[in-house]
Amino acid sequence: MDPTTLTLTTAVDDLQGVHPETAAALRRLGLRCVADLLLHAPSRYRRTHSWQSMSQMAEFADAQSGDDLEVRGEIVSVERGFGRGAKVEAVLEDDSGEVDLVFFNQPWIQRKLHPGLRISVVGRPRRYRSRIQIANPSWQRIDNDASLVAPACEDEHAKLTPVYPASDELSSDSIAEIILATLPDATALLDDHLTDEYRASRNLPTLARAYRLLHRPELEEHIDTARRRLALDELLMLQLGVMMKRFHRRTHLQAVSLPLTEDVQSRISARIPFTPTDAQSRVMNEIAADLAEEIPMNRLLQGDVGSGKTMVALAAMLQAVANGRQAALVAPTELLAEQHERTLREVLQHAPMRLELLTGSITGSARRSLVKDIGAGRVDIVVGTHAILTNDVVFRDLAVAVADEQHRFGVQQRATLRSKGSDQTHCPHQLVMTATPIPRTLSLTLFGDLDVSVIDEMPPGRLPVETVAVDRAGAAAAYADVAARAGRGERSFVVVPVIEESPTGLTDLESHLDRLATGPLRDCRIAAMHGRLDTTERERIMNLFREGSLDVLVATTVIEVGVDVPQATLIVIEDADRFGLAQLHQLRGRVGRGDRAGKCVLVAEPTTDEAHRRIEAMVETTDGFQIAERDLEIRGPGELFGARQSGVPPFRIAVIPRDLELLALARRDAEVWIEEDPLLTQPPHTLLRRRLLKAHGQWLGLGDVG
């Protein structure tokens, strides 16, 4: 292709030298055009010395230099391992010796390698059982006429080679060849959305230079320079979007003022069945002050499992009702919605107001009648699931909207809840709650337009749950404990990851229930709980468990939230290494909710470092905020708070928590930027605004801004 006709949208199929099958493989990796190639960042860089002989490689392995090396040779054997950690092992040799190649989780390699094949291999050598081994090397076939005798001396400096996310049909080296061929012409097409003045103030390269350094660094500092510019770009774009949305909410939208008079305060206090903790009182005051304003509240309420968030939310909803308005509480599952409705109905049983439950299970004439009453204002508080968000549910005067377990709701769903106001310029005050504490830095990243309140104090008398980890053999003692507790009138949960038997070998509910009922728990009253049960049957089983007619519930993660049984003191979690850390913490919170201490037994035989660290974290701390920080350390922001559900585009370069300083810088700069040009409409910011709306406009709901 003529470089003069190249554009950032040029398809990979049209690039010179890219064959149709290669283009198809690129598309399967999400690389459809030139812009995608620029954005395909290396996952790491290898320091490759000149081609080594096997004997030279042994010297590097002994020196533990940590550099990647290249070696050439002929495959003399290929074998496939067996079991859970199956691997492919091959032996490569040249005239000076042998090196072992081991490929983990790449079974297809066995079909591609065979004795007699001559290949070039790049990887990091190490000694393993007195032999030299390279794990998961990159490799490619070499011509049969190529020499296998290494050069007599090596280069003075190692070469930095980018290693790209690849596939079994397209290697990193092949991707690198295509990217480097288009890099000069592609980067010449890049216009920079950051002004010269801003780049100079932050010592940043141009966008074009950043991408050139990212893909073709000559020095380590080139990589750092490129990553700093591109990571700050990502963080700054997100923060600008969040600040723009915050500005719009505060200047263009209006909510009903809900004053907290002495009379209203006394009526609310009369409905709260206990004396709030200092932390609850502080948070209630923060929320009450927000509700008294005409600027719509947009507050995130964080509190660990059992910290009393529901009563705080009730106080906010009662502030609306006391001012003659409506309130709604939306939960992600029917089980949690039912739990909230039951709790609130008990507290409000003598109050002169109407509370109703609206879930997907309420259908036909019952639903039509309820929706009609909501629209007429005859229902004061509505508790429900996503069923509240449907178009036919119209409130007469919704003033406070609460979303529980906010990480399970997408941004669009929260926006729908906000739109239940009386018209397009009015919206309800919104409170979103989470029992999965979010590290402050990350809450600023994704929820920067929210004010944050934290309940950092547990109710008096609440004891921490003892947590232990056992292997499969140790599970017998755990079930003996379940049986003993049943004899004392205590109740227990047993959690399994799947309902039915599957090829994964995970503990399934049906088989495990049978094993327990005919084995260690044969003298216990036992039942199953899972998401496929209809509402009536689920409620019947839960009532039996609450009232003590059942001793043990064998369940899936359907009990993760919304289950409050004070007599439950023990939870056994099977295959605990297969659950996420936040999920394990939520499950642990199902026990010890009464006056007796709880215990959590994690049955696990972790096979990965990440799984080991999750189990260790659970055993070492019961503090939800520490759990959140550990979760962040172990797996990054990822799905920690629903980025996937929210449609938040993932970062390509920025890594949290590594780039926390850049995040803080981006937030400060975004605040200044939006204060000076709230909608980024000034001429120098035209391109920045366009790219911002493309990156974040949809999920942040910026279409109505400006």
Show the domain range for 17. Answer: 1-43+171-187
Backbone angles phi, psi at 679, to 5 degrees: -115, 10
Q: Residue type for 586, please?
A: Q
Q: Identify the residue with better confidence: 62 or 220.
A: 220
Mean pLDDT of 197-220: 94
Residue 62 lies in a domain: yes
- Separation CA 446–CA 647 (nearest Å): 11
Asked if 249 and 298 touch (Cβ cutoff 8 Å), the reply is yes
Q: 472 and 570 share a domain?
A: yes
Residue 651 lies in a domain: no
> Is the pLDDT at 250 greater than 90, yes or no?
no
Residue 542 lies in a domain: yes
- Separation CA 59–CA 99 (nearest Å): 12
Q: Identify the residue with better confidence: 377 or 50.
A: 377
> Is the pLDDT at 3 greater than 70, yes or no?
no
Q: 485 and 538 share a domain?
A: yes
Q: 53 and 126 share a domain?
A: yes
How do residues 327-343 score in pLDDT, each as one tens digit?
A: 999 998 888 898 889 88
Q: 288 and 398 share a domain?
A: yes
Confidence of residue 50 (pLDDT cuts 50, 70, 90): low
Asked if 150 and 52 touch (Cβ cutoff 8 Å), the reply is yes
Backbone angles phi, psi at 410, to 5 degrees: -75, 165
Confidence of residue 411 (pLDDT cuts 50, 70, 90): low
Confidence of residue 130 (pLDDT cuts 50, 70, 90): confident
Most confident option among 11-25, 424-438, 633-647: 11-25
Most confident option among 82-86, 608-612, 656-660: 608-612
455 CB-contact burial (10 Å; exposed 0-12 / middle 13-18 / buried 19+): buried
Q: 139 and 268 share a domain?
A: no
Asked if 289 and 276 touch (Cβ cutoff 8 Å), the reply is no
> Is the pLDDT at 704 greater than 70, yes or no?
no
Residue 75 lies in a domain: yes
Q: Identify the residue with better confidence: 129 or 670.
A: 670
Mean pLDDT of 625-634: 79
The pLDDT of residue 642 is 42
Domain count, the chain: 4
> Is the pLDDT at 322 greater than 50, yes or no?
yes
- Separation CA 370–CA 379 (nearest Å): 8
Confidence of residue 48 (pLDDT cuts 50, 70, 90): low
Residue 230 lies in a domain: no
Q: Identify the residue with better confidence: 490 or 643.
A: 490
The pLDDT of residue 685 is 93
The pLDDT of residue 519 is 94
Residue 205 lies in a domain: no
Confidence of residue 163 (pLDDT cuts 50, 70, 90): confident
Q: 421 and 486 share a domain?
A: no
Residue 503 lies in a domain: yes
Contacts of residue 259, defined as CB under 8 A and 6 or more positions apart, other chains included, come to 292, 323
Residue 236 lies in a domain: no
The pLDDT of residue 17 is 86
Query: First vs last Cα of the chain: how many Å apart?
Result: 41
How do residues 530-558 score in pLDDT, each as one tens digit?
A: 888 887 888 899 889 989 999 999 999 88
Confidence of residue 157 (pLDDT cuts 50, 70, 90): low
- Separation CA 569–CA 118 (nearest Å): 63
**Greatest extent of the chain over all pairs of C-alpha atoms, in Å:** 94
- Separation CA 347–CA 51 (nearest Å): 76
**Mean pLDDT over each residue of the chain, to the nearest integer:** 85
Q: 478 and 610 share a domain?
A: yes
Q: Identify the residue with better confidence: 689 or 441.
A: 689
Percent of the chain with pLDDT over 70: 86
> Is the pLDDT at 518 greater than 90, yes or no?
yes
Cα dihedral 7→9→15→19 (10° resolution) = 180
The pLDDT of residue 643 is 43
Q: 8 and 57 share a domain?
A: no
220 CB-contact burial (10 Å; exposed 0-12 / middle 13-18 / buried 19+): exposed
The pLDDT of residue 147 is 59
| Full DSSP string of 595-661 | SS--EEEEE----SHHHHHHHHHHHH---HHHHHHHHHHHH-STTTTTHHHHTPPPPSS--TTTTHH
Mean pLDDT of 149-158: 53
Q: 351 and 385 share a domain?
A: yes
Asked if 437 and 627 touch (Cβ cutoff 8 Å), the reply is yes
Q: 36 and 48 share a domain?
A: no
Q: 489 and 594 share a domain?
A: yes
Confidence of residue 205 (pLDDT cuts 50, 70, 90): very high
Q: Residue type for 261, please?
A: T
The pLDDT of residue 581 is 87
Look up the CATH number of the domain holding residue 374. 3.40.50.300
Least confident of 362-376, 419-433, 567-581, 641-655: 641-655
How do residues 453-502 score in pLDDT, each as one tens digit?
A: 888 877 776 778 999 999 988 999 999 999 999 999 999 999 999 988 87
How do residues 419-465 score in pLDDT, each as one tens digit?
A: 676 566 678 999 988 876 666 556 655 556 678 888 887 777 677 89
Q: 87 and 135 share a domain?
A: yes
How do residues 671-681 score in pLDDT, each as one tens digit?
A: 999 999 998 99
Single out the residue in 621, 638, 662 at which a domain terminates: 621
Mean pLDDT of 662-684: 91
User: Which uninterrupted H or E stretch holds 467?
Assistant: strand 466-470
Prior bond of 657 cis (ω within 30°) = yes
Look up the CATH number of the domain holding residue 144. 2.40.50.140
